[in-house]
Amino acid sequence: MASRVNAKKEKIKRNRDNMRKFKSVGRKGTSRRKMLKKAQASKARQTEAEFIAQCYITAPPPNSVEEPKQ
């Protein structure tokens, strides 16, 4: 009976070692959908930043020319 218990323990150890040796790391990289979403979000963020920058530009109106005072 002892050899049977010993065999089970050895099998459990072998299985554990093989699981560690052959385990899959998982998917490397990102999915296509996630990449497209990130690109879309980046583009939206950039256009939003440009719009906000336009709101805070301090420049004279286009057709106003300051005349020197005499």
Digit-coded pLDDT (tens) for 13-63: 999 999 999 888 776 777 889 999 999 999 999 999 999 988 887 666 667
- Find the distance separating the first CA and the last CA of the chain, reported in whole Å: 115
User: Which residue would you say has higher pLDDT here, 8 or 57?
Assistant: 8
- Locus of tokens 């286009």: 62
Domain ranges of the chain: 29-57
Whole-angstrom distance, CA of residue 61 vs CA of residue 54: 13
Question: Sign of dihedral through CA atoms 20, 24, 26, 29?
Answer: positive
pTM given for the model: 0.42
